Every structure is written in structure tokens, then in C-alpha cells.
Amino acid sequence: MHFVLEQVLTGLSIGSILLLVALGLSIIYGTIGVINLAHGEFIMLGAYAAWALKTYAGLSLLPALLAIFLGLGLFGWLLERFLLRRLYRRPLDTILATWGVGVVLQQLVRLTAGGDLRYVELPPSMASSVSIFGVEIAAYRIFIFVVAAVLFLISWSIMYRTTFGLKLRAVVQDRNVASCFGINADRIYSLSFAYGAALAGLAGAIISPLKSVSPEMGTNYVVDAFMVVVFGGVQSLFGTVISAFALGEVTGVIAFLQNDTIAKAMVLIVIMSVIRFRPQGLFVAKVRA
């Protein structure tokens, strides 16, 4: 029983990190339809922002989260407004543009902050561990789980309990008809992309104490994020949550029995097998025709 509980908690920890890195992409990819290959670099920028604010401004991680959220949101808004807005009806160009943005961001960070690994200090108040039914788990991982749950609830509430979410879903279903009813689709897209970018930056800052911060760190995260979003269903926030924690549990068990590399490979095989027979993912957002 102790072993089972330990694996469940490990899977929840991995799943909460996957949900953090995938939630922003789910907003952007699922609602706007942009395959944002720069999503990993948004995560990387959030991690570097946490490091820079601590190093040069003396601001610890927790107080810096709001500034990072707003800063990445502004960056995402500018990127959508001045670049991506002109490419929405050209999906291949959008892919190439976001890939190019990611490359440029990596090089800019390498030129300004250097290519050496950087480290973000764990908040002292969360450096201890907590015992849950006899299983020791780091307090900071519990914090990540709580933050991931809160961010999902906020995102779901925005999507399904606000006027903005109603307008967004109308634009997703039929942009032309929505525009006929006076909905400013360009404004909806800008705010959605900004929110998704802000979530990605926040995810990067939160996971930075657990991982080394480097210009290339976003590459692995963008792969994980796409796996979670596609596996769960592109337009389903609920599917993203189920997918993240399901993949987290599977990864945790396989990594315990074998190693992390085999776990990653097995998860990828499972995802490809599911998509082969269910290309729309596990969950499909239902809309009225």
C-alpha cells in the first residue's frame, strides 16, 4: 500500500508539471488554432525572468510570479498583434514564424545571459518535505500541484463562465458569424494568445527551481506540452487535465520500474497508438452546429 501511494503521489507531481507547461498551449492551440513552436521558449523566458529578478533585483520567486505573468502576457500580446495576426490563414507560415521566433529568443538569451546553466533558489518556506500517509513529498511539489489546479480552475472559469469566454467560443466555432454579431475577433485572439503566453512564462518560473535553466530548456517542454494537448483533445481543457495526470502516472510507474528514457519512449508509443485510432484525442469539445 505504501508503494502504491508513493507512485500515485509521484505521478501527481509529474502530472501537475505537465499540466503547467501544457495549459498555456492548450489555450493557444485549442482556441486560436496556432501551432506555437515558440511555446517552449516562452517557458524558458519565464525561467530566466525568475533568475534575473532574483539575481539583479533581489526579488525572490514567489513575489516575482505576478511580474513574470504580466511581462510574458505583454510579450505574447505584442507578438500576436505585430506578427501572427497576419498569418492566421496560412498555417505553414505560422509554424515557420513561431519556430523562427523560438530560435531568435534562444540566441538572444544566449547573447545576453550566456549559455551557462543558471539556477533559481527554492523558496526557503517550501524547502522542507511533508508526510502524507507516511510518504514524504517535497512541500514545493505540493505547491506546484495547488498552483496547477488553481490555474486550471481560473482558465476554465474564463472560458465557460465569462462573456469573454462566450465570445471566444463563438469566434472558434465561426469567426465570420461571430464578427457579424459585433465580436472583435482580432481582440479576442490577441488576449487569448497573451493569456496563453503568460501561463507559459508562469510555468517556466515555477518549475525553474526544479530544473537547470538554459537557453535550450524549452525544447523538451514544448514536446511534452504538445503530447498532453493532442492526447487530451485539442479544444478540451478538461481533456488536458486528464491527459496530463494520466501521462504523469504512467511516466512515474515506468520510470520507477525502468528509467526516465524508457518511460518517455513508452509514453510516446501509447500516445501514437491512441491517436492512430482516435485522432481527435481522448476528449472532444462539444459544440452545437
Q: What tens-digit pLDDT sequence spans the chain (289 residues)?
A: 666 777 777 778 888 888 888 888 888 887 777 888 999 999 999 999 999 999 999 889 999 999 999 999 999 999 999 998 888 878 888 999 999 999 999 999 999 998 889 999 888 888 888 877 777 888 888 898 899 999 999 999 998 899 998 998 888 888 888 888 888 988 999 999 999 999 999 999 999 998 889 999 888 888 888 888 888 876 678 888 888 888 888 887 887 777 777 877 888 888 888 778 877 777 765 544 4
* 286: in domain: no
* 13: in domain: yes
Residue with cell 472532444: 284
- For 74, the domain range is 2-277
The b/e string for 28-65 (b: 16+ C-beta within 10 A; e otherwise) is bbbbbebbbbbbbbbbbbbbbbbbbbbeeeebbbeebb
* 288: in domain: no
For the beta carbon of residue 129, count every other beta carbon within 10 angstroms. Answer: 14
CB–CB of 129/139 below 8 Å?
yes
For the beta carbon of residue 103, count every other beta carbon within 10 angstroms. Answer: 13
* 88: in domain: yes
Number of domains in the chain: 1
pLDDT value of residue 157: 93
Give burial (CB, 10 Å; 0-12/13-18/19+) of 233: buried
* 284: in domain: no
* 192: in domain: yes
* 289: in domain: no
pTM for the complete prediction? 0.90
